[in-house]
Each structure stands twice: as structure tokens, then as C-alpha cells.
């Protein structure tokens, strides 16, 4: 089987809202939390922010657990939030 990589196409806001309404509230909340914590992890690179980074990693793992239970494709990786 031949597979091709399709280019990323932006989703209109109205379509994103429609998709978001189909998702349970706790999953949408977990997705927002995962993206926020992935961003925060990128900000905490210095050694003096190690404790903050660990808290953000724990929150990211907790949010990813909820996302993976709903759909494994929604898992957010640290430094990979888009």
C-alpha cells in the first residue's frame, strides 16, 4: 500500500468550534491543560525552574491520560504543542 503525507490545511474557526462541541467537556478541558503545560515546560529550561517544570510535566501526564483514554491521537508531547 502506498501512503502519502498530506499537507497541513488550516481549519476554519467555525469548523473547529463544531468539532469542539462534539467532544466531552472533560476531554476539551484536558486538551487545553495539556497544551498549556507543554508550552510552560518549554519556558522552564533553566535549572532554577526545575521544580516548576516537574509540576508542569505531572499536569501534562495527567491531561494526556484523559486524552489517551478518549483518543490516542490527541496526546500532546512536551515541546510539541501546536
Q: Give the angle subtended at the CA of 76 by the CAs of 75 and 78, to the nearest 5°.
A: 140
The whole-angstrom separation of Cα 33 and Cα 42 is 14
- The pLDDT of residue 20 is 81
Which grid cell sits at 77?
A: 508531547
The whole-angstrom separation of Cα 67 and Cα 31 is 7
- What are the pLDDT digits (tens) for 45-69? 899 999 999 999 999 999 999 999 9
Residue tagged 467555525 (cell numbers): 14
- The pLDDT of residue 9 is 82
- What are the pLDDT digits (tens) for 5-54? 767 788 889 988 888 888 899 999 999 999 999 999 989 889 999 999 99
- The pLDDT of residue 52 is 92
Residue tagged 491543560 (cell numbers): 33
Amino acid at each position: 500500500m502506498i501512503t502519502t503525507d498530506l499537507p497541513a490545511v488550516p481549519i476554519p474557526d467555525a469548523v473547529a468550534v463544531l468539532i469542539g462541541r462534539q467532544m466531552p467537556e472533560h476531554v476539551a478541558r484536558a486538551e487545553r491543560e495539556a497544551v498549556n503545560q507543554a508550552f510552560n515546560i518549554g519556558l522552564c529550561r533553566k535549572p532554577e525552574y526545575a521544580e516548576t517544570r516537574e509540576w508542569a510535566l505531572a499536569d501534562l501526564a495527567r491531561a494526556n491520560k484523559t486524552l489517551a483514554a478518549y483518543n490516542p491521537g490527541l496526546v500532546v508531547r512536551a515541546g510539541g504543542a501546536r
